[in-house]
Structure 1
Amino acid sequence: MLVSMLVLYIGCTEARLLHPQKVHVYIRNDLGGGLKLNVHCKSKDDDLGLKVIDPNGIWEFHFTSSFWGNTQFYCEKSCHGALFFPFKVHVLIRNDVGSTLKLHCKSADDDLGVKVVPPSQTWDFRFRSSFWGNTRFYCSVEWPGAAHNFDAYVEHRDACTTCAWSIEPENPYIPEKINVDIFNDLGQGFNMTIHCKSKNDDLGVHVVPPNGDWQFNFKTSFWGDTQFFCSVEWPGASHYFDAFIEKREFGVCTTCVWSIKPDQPCLVFKDKSVCYPWTS
C-alpha cells in the first residue's frame, strides 16, 4: 500500500494538466488590389476546408484547445501577399533640443500621459500593432518658445519594430541607413590601401585597385554622433580623412561618394564636389 501511494503521488506532481480553453482565430484579407484570398486551415484532427476571403473581409474559426496542450492549426494560402499578424513595436524618443522637453503621446485608443524629458535623456513606450494595420501614435512636444506635433508611429509608413527618434529644434528624425563609397582616383596606376573605423567598429584593411572602389554601410547613431574616419596609403604617401561625420553629413547625403585624389579627398555630388583637407 505504501508503494502504490508513493507512485501515485509522483505521477501527480510530474503530470502537467491543462484546462482546455476556447480559442477564436481571425484571418483578414489585407492583400489589396481587389485580390481574393484562398485559405485552407487544418489541425491533425480537423480539416476546415478551403475558404475564399473577399478583399478586406474576415474569416474566423474557433476550437477548444487540447487537454494535453499540443493543439496546432496550420494554414495554406494562395495568392500573392502575406497574412498580417500584430507585432510588438518599441518607440524611443530622445530629447536633443537642449532644454527640458514636455512630451504627450496618444493613439486612437491610448493616452500615454504627459512626460517631462530632461535634456539628452530618452523616454520610451511599447505596444502591439493593430490587427487592422492602422496603428498610429502621434505626439505633441513643447520646450521654451516652441510647440509642435509629429507622428511617432504610422503603421503603413514605418518599417521599424524599434523606432528611435531624436527630437531636435528643427525637426524630429529617425537615424538613417548610410552608404559610403570610396573611389581610388589617385592615378599613376597606384593601389590604395584603406582602413576605416568608428569608435565601435573596425572595418579592416582593404586594397582598392586604380579606378576601383570600396564601400560600406551602417545606420547612424540614435545619439547623432556617428563618425567614421579612414587612413589611406599609397606609395610615398599616408593620410587620414573623415569619411562620415553625422553632424556634417546629416541631410547632405545618404549615399556618400568619395573620390580620393593625391592632394585631397572630395565628396562627390551630381553637380559638384566638396573637397576637404587631410586630417593628418
Structure 2
Amino acid sequence: MSLVYSYSYSYYYLKSMLKPLVTIIVFLMVACAQDIYSLSDNTIFDGKKTVRVYNGMNDGILVYLHCRSKDNDLGQHVLAFAEFQKWSFNDNLFGTTLFWCTMNASNVHASFEVYRAKTEEYKCDTQCDRNLKKDGGYFFNQFYGYWEKRLSWHIPKTPSF
C-alpha cells in the first residue's frame, strides 16, 4: 500500500510543478526573443533607452560614425556639425547590452563603447546623449545633469585660407 501511495504522491507533486515550470520557460523564451528584436519600437518590457551621438566639432569637420552591437549593425552615418545619429532599444534580460562605434574625423580614427548596460545603469535612464568634440567624447549623466569626458583625442583646428 505504501508503494502505491508513494507513486501517487510523486505523480501529483510533479503534475503540480509542471505549470510553474512551463511558465518560467515561456517567460525566458519571450525575454530572449525580446533581445533579438531590441531595436524595434514594440517591445514588451519597459526601460527603453535612446542613444544619441552628436557631432560637436565645428569648423566644418565631418564625423563618419559607424555603430553596432553584437546583433545589430546600424550602418555608417556622416554627421555635419550639430547633427546626430540616434537609435532606441531595450537592455537585454541579462544586462549585457553593448553598443560600440568607430569614428573617423579629420584623419583621427577612434573605436569606443558608446553604451554598456552595466556602466550606464546609474548614468542614463532613458536618454543617453554623447557629444564628440575636438578633444574627446563626452557622455551626459542624466541623473546628475553634467557632461563627463570619457574619451580623449586631439583634432587640430582646420586651417582657413
Q: What is the distance in 2 between the residues matched to 1:223 and 1:277?
A: 26
CA contact (8 A) 1:175 1:222 kept: no
Q: What is the distance in 2 between the residues matched to 1:198 and 1:233?
A: 18
Larger RCO, structure (CA 8 Å, separation 6 or more): 2
2:121 to 247, 250, 270: 250
CA contact (8 A) 2:54 2:132 kept: yes
CA contact (8 A) 1:239 1:278 kept: no
CA contact (8 A) 1:180 1:217 kept: yes
1:274 to 122, 137, 148: 148
CA contact (8 A) 2:123 2:140 kept: no
Structure 1 residues 196 and 189, CA gap change in structure 2 (3 angstroms) = same
1:95-106 matches, within 5 Å, as none
Q: What is the distance in 1 between the residues matched to 2:71 and 2:26?
A: 27
Structure 1 residues 230 and 262, CA gap change in structure 2 (3 angstroms) = same
Letter in structure 1 aligned against 2:133: K
**Could you say which residue in structure 2 is the equivalent of 1:124?**
24
Aligned-residue Cα RMSD (Å) equals 3.0
How far apart are residue 250 of structure 1 and its match?
A: 1.7
Identity of aligned residues (%): 23
User: Relative to total residues, which structure has the larger strand share, 1 or 2?
Assistant: 1
User: Relative to total residues, which structure has the larger helix share, 1 or 2?
Assistant: 2
In structure 1, the residue corresponding to 2:24 is in which secondary structure?
A: strand
Letter in structure 2 aligned against 1:258: R
TM-score, normalising length from structure 1?
0.38
Q: Which runs of 5+ in 2 are unaligned?
A: 1-15, 33-44, 154-161
1:131-175 Cα distance to aligned partner (Å, 9 max, x none): xxxxxxxxxxxxxxxxxxxxxxxxxxxxxxx468xxxxxxxxx67
Q: Which runs of 5+ in 1 are unaligned?
A: 1-110, 117-122, 128-161, 165-173
Q: What is the distance in 2 between the residues matched to 1:278 and 1:199?
A: 25
Q: What is the distance in 2 between the residues matched to 1:185 and 1:261?
A: 5
1:219 to 61, 76, 90: 90
Q: What is the distance in 2 between the residues matched to 1:163 and 1:240?
A: 30
2:48 to 130, 152, 177: 177
Q: What is the distance in 2 between the residues matched to 1:201 and 1:247?
A: 19
Q: How many pairs were matched up?
A: 120
**Could you say which residue in structure 1 is the equivalent of 2:4?**
none
**Runs of 4+ with >4 A deviation:** none
Q: What is the distance in 1 between the residues matched to 2:31 and 2:99?
A: 23
Structure 1 residues 227 and 126, CA gap change in structure 2 (3 angstroms) = closer
Letter in structure 1 aligned against 2:61: F
